[in-house]
Amino acid sequence: MVANNQEPLSFARLVALDERRPVYPQTLVELAYEQLLSMLVTMKIAPGQHIGIEALARELQISQTPIREALTLLEAQKLAYKTPNVGFRAADLLTRQEINALFALRQLIEPKAAAWAAESADANALRALAKLAEEMERVQNGDELAYAQFAEGDARLHDLVARASGNRFVAETIEGLHVHLHIFRFLYKTNAQTEAVKEHETIINALLARDPTAAEEAMRAHLVASQKRMDAAFAEQERQPATDPVDDGRAARGGRGRRRR
């Protein structure tokens, strides 16, 4: 999905990225991609906002061509879209209906993928899962960076399960949804609780015990609980009046866009 997709996506890095340039060598497209991705998921570029390529080129000190290429990659991830003769805009946030549809699809695939993973995960996958479980234990509730670290672990766990299922098409389908990117963008700024840590632990333990029934059930229960949390976040947003100070205070730096459709 990324020009150079060796590394798993790091939400923590994206949050910490801010205006600083990373120090490791990258191609200009990768550099532009990462900067833009950071701006889009942290909503420095607000949902629906026009993305001015010339202004970005000046701000990032990168020429326009790599920025255009990066935007094309982001378009494939449905984070930006192009309108003829107008240019690029940041995608809207997912609607409540879209989130529910996304979870309905995940429920069809991921519990079964977890059952298969319990049966066929190799030693490397099991090692990676055990390591991830340890890392996720250390994630605390709290600020945006903590949430980013949680989201990163979450994305890695679901990707690991998908790949360990041994079914390439299942893995591609799950990865192709870019679920975690969109959920992260949606929940960023809400300092979402990391209740899912326990649920993840249950999934990982079932996988390490090579128990397909328990793994399938744990994944199903986790997705149900996740969907409920997302729905609660929507309900919370809808309760806020349109003149909420959160809205105008952040507008200048590309705050969270409210749904108006």
- Could you say whether residue 30 binds Zn ion (CB under 5 A)? no
Comparing CB distances to Zn ion, the nearer of 34 and 154 is 154
State the minimum distance, in angstroms, from the CB of residue 180 to Zn ion. Answer: 8
Nearest to 74 by CA among 97, 58, 57, 51: 51
CA distance 95 to 66: 31
Residue 18 burial (CB count, 10 A): 11
State the minimum distance, in angstroms, from the CB of residue 128 to Zn ion. Answer: 15
Interface with Zn ion (CB under 5 A), residue total 1
Name residues contacting Zn ion, limited to 117-156 (CB under 5 A).
154
Comparing CB distances to Zn ion, the nearer of 38 and 226 is 226
In the bound complex, which residue of the shown chain has the CB atom lying closest to Zn ion?
Answer: 154
Name residues contacting Zn ion, limited to 154-173 (CB under 5 A).
154
Bridge-partner residues for 87, per DSSP?
83
State the minimum distance, in angstroms, from the CB of residue 203 to Zn ion. Answer: 8
Comparing CB distances to Zn ion, the nearer of 154 and 216 is 154
From the number of C-beta atoms within 10 Å of its C-beta (0-12, 13-18, 19+), residue 160 rates as buried
State the minimum distance, in angstroms, from the CB of residue 259 to Zn ion. Answer: 24
Token pair recorded at residue 33: 């991609």
Nearest to 179 by CA among 202, 161, 206: 161
Comparing CB distances to Zn ion, the nearer of 35 and 165 is 165
Comparing CB distances to Zn ion, the nearer of 44 and 185 is 185
State the minimum distance, in angstroms, from the CB of residue 115 to Zn ion. Answer: 16
HSE of 219, CA atoms in CB hemisphere, 13 A = 29
Beta carbons of 184 and 43 less than 8 angstroms apart = no
> Which positions touch Zn ion (CB under 5 A)?
154
